[in-house]
């Protein structure tokens, strides 16, 4: 598997410190991107957390996911969470090492009391001493928060004193791209009050991440069901919600998001959000503990079209670190259709520049220091599709297409706007994990043919 060394450099370790009667939480930042460009140690916020114990528990939940591996429990590497300042909130994000769980803590304006919130994205140091200190934060203790070093710290230290280097798998990077596409198809399926949320989450089976459950709203609670009836939400690997248990004593409600229930009984991704005072902690689960988000193929259709790359360049300059990206507004500004804007956002997501907030049903802007073309180059299906195109294996025949591979052919056709294929991949997944390489190759050729001037054969 392709990996790259990802380095975190901090001026000092993040820590909880006591100064007289005041307790402070200093979260140290690594190299990050801001509206002013790359900064060695950007500073996003200084002030107070209005609910310190809930915030400490929620931050530990995000750190729990970053340190966990829910499938094939082998030795793994702890990767520091990503923090984004969006002007009106601070977001902390992480993936599990197996890439099957995505965690996000949104600390909203009501959860913060202090200076203006900055704009930018970087990593924050979460170390073991910090975790132990956060677990001891008391409910009545005021907690001062600093995200990023102050100017005195920056000028006092000559260089980084804390450095971490971990291998960063390509599949982990692709997870950021896949989750925003998958979550954008979710709707709110249920909302239950705090007491029922606590009862439900504590009743979930433990110790077997391969369990797949379905639940349906039943009055003010959730009821397990043996099959995906209308309105049901899939809970694949309930043990993967363990990080939510940290915040149960502070919960106000539990919201559940998911796609329409699959009629064939196939498992599906879902998002589980605990509403906290001034905050939201959300865990998004892949369809199965053995399936990381990186292999779901949700971004492939957008990557296969040439116009998405051109549109993405235009859309990128309009994002402006917005906490809520309005597709209709972007379409007006860019002079594009909403469909083309969504495809452009999907492409920007492959570099980690776009996320999706299920609670607000809106995209948001972040900037991760990753190669914009990495997700595409490391995707084996897309590489195979481009190889088929280069080999001249695709023949268009109106609404049908033939793709010749070695000594056999596959037929690709459009059905309800989706390209279907006669290959084994399509027969097995029925589009549940994105298009096959043959359908992708056909989409690439069709896109090139539609973009070519009249009378000119596409190359």
In a structure prediction context, what are the per-residue pLDDT tens digits for the chain, which is 459 residues long? 455 566 788 988 999 988 777 789 999 999 888 988 888 899 999 999 999 999 999 999 999 999 888 876 655 667 889 999 999 999 999 999 888 999 999 999 999 999 899 999 999 999 999 999 999 887 666 789 999 987 555 455 555 557 777 665 566 678 888 899 999 999 999 999 999 999 999 999 877 667 889 999 998 999 998 888 888 999 999 999 999 999 999 999 999 999 986 545 678 999 999 999 999 999 999 998 888 887 777 788 777 776 777 888 889 889 988 899 999 999 999 999 998 999 899 888 887 889 999 999 999 999 876 665 665 666 788 889 999 999 999 999 888 999 998 888 999 998 777 889 999 988 888 877 888 999 999 988 988 887 655 554 554
Residue 46 lies in a domain: yes
What φ, ψ does residue 75 adopt, rounded to 5°? -60, 130
**pLDDT value, residue 1:** 46
Residue 118 lies in a domain: yes
d(CA 334, CA 1) in angstroms, rounded, equals 38
DSSP class of 135: T
Helix/strand/coil percent split, the chain, to 5: 30, 30, 35
Please give the order of strands across the beta sheet that includes 22-27.
Answer: 15-19, 22-27, 143-147, 45-49, 112-114
What lies within 8 Å, CB to CB, of 129 at 6+ separation is 13, 15
**Across the strands, what pairs with 32?**
39
Quick count: other Cβ atoms within 10 Å of Cβ 238? 22
d(CA 437, CA 425) in angstroms, rounded, equals 9
- Are 334 and 274 within one domain? no
- Are 186 and 109 within one domain? no
- Are 210 and 326 within one domain? no
- Are 330 and 420 within one domain? no
Q: Name the nearest CA neighbour of 325 among 289, 295, 292, 349.
A: 349
- Are 324 and 389 within one domain? no
Residue 359 lies in a domain: no
Give the chain's length: 459
- Are 390 and 435 within one domain? yes
Q: Name the nearest CA neighbour of 190 among 217, 225, 159.
A: 217
Residue 76 lies in a domain: yes
Residue 3 lies in a domain: no
Residue 63 lies in a domain: yes
Q: What is the pTM of this model?
A: 0.88
- Are 62 and 191 within one domain? no
Query: How many domains, the chain?
Result: 4
**pLDDT value, residue 458:** 52
Give the residue from 274, 294, 314 where a domain finishes.
294
For the chain, the maximum distance between any two Cα atoms, rounded to a whole number of angstroms, is 79
- Are 233 and 314 within one domain? no
CATH of the domain at 13: 3.10.150
Give the residue from 342, 374, 406 where a domain finishes.
374
Residue 456 lies in a domain: no
For CA atoms 67, 98, 83, 183, the dihedral sign is negative
- Are 160 and 24 within one domain? yes
360 within 8 A of 325, measured Cβ to Cβ:
no
DSSP class of 293: G
- Are 92 and 36 within one domain? yes
The domain containing residue 369 runs over which residues? 300-353+364-374
5's enclosing H/E stretch is strand 3-10
439's enclosing H/E stretch is helix 437-451
**pLDDT value, residue 270:** 96
Residue 105 lies in a domain: yes
- Are 310 and 391 within one domain? no
- Are 155 and 191 within one domain? no
**pLDDT value, residue 249:** 94
């Amino acid at each position: 598997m392709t990996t790259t060394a990802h380095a975190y450099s901090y001026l000092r370790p993040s820590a909880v410190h006591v100064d007289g009667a005041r307790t402070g939480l200093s979260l140290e930042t690594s190299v990050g991107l801001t509206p002013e460009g790359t900064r060695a140690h950007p500073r996003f916020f200084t002030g107070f957390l209005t609910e310190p114990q809930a915030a400490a528990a929620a931050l530990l939940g995000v750190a729990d996911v970053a340190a966990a591996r829910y499938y094939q429990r082998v030795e793994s590497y702890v990767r520091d969470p990503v923090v984004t300042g969006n002007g009106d909130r601070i977001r902390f994000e992480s993936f599990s090492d197996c890439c099957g769980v995505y965690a996000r803590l949104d600390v909203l304006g009501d959860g913060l009391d202090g200076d203006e919130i900055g704009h930018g994205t970087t990593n924050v140091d979460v170390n073991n001493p910090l975790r132990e200190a956060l677990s001891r934060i008391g409910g009545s203790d005021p907690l001062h928060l600093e995200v990023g070093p102050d100017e005195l710290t920056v000028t006092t230290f000559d260089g980084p004193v804390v450095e971490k280097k971990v291998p960063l798998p390509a599949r982990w990077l692709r997870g950021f791209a896949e989750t925003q596409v998958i979550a954008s198809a979710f709707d709110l399926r249920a909302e239950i009050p705090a007491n029922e949320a606590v009862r439900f989450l504590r009743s979930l089976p433990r110790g077997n991440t391969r369990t797949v459950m379905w639940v349906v709203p039943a009055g003010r609670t959730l009821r397990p069901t043996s099959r995906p009836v209308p309105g049901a939400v899939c809970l694949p690997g309930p043990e993967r919600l363990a990080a939510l248990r940290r915040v149960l004593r502070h919960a106000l409600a539990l919201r559940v998001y998911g796609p329409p229930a699959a009629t064939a009984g196939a498992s599906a991704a879902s998002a589980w959000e605990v509403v906290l005072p001034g905050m939201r902690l959300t865990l998004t689960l892949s369809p199965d503990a053995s399936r990381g988000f990186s292999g779901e193929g949700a971004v492939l259709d957008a990557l296969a079209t040439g116009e998405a790359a051109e549109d993405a360049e235009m859309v990128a300059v309009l994002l402006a670190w917005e906490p809520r990206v309005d597709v209709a507004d972007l379409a007006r500004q860019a002079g594009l259709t909403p469909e083309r804007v969504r495809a452009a956002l999907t492409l920007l997501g492959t570099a980690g520049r776009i996320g999706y907030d299920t609670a607000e049903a809106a995209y948001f802007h972040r900037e991760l220091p990753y190669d914009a073309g990495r997700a595409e180059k490391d995707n084996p299906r897309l590489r195979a599709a481009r190889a088929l195109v280069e080999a001249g294996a695709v023949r268009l025949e109106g609404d049908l297409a033939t793709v010749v591979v070695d000594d056999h052919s596959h037929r690709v056709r459009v059905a309800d706007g989706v390209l279907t294929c006669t290959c084994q991949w399509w027969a097995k997944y029925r589009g549940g994990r994105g298009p096959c390489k043959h359908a992708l190759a056909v989409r690439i050729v069709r896109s090139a043919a539609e973009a070519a001037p009249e009378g000119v054969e596409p190359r």
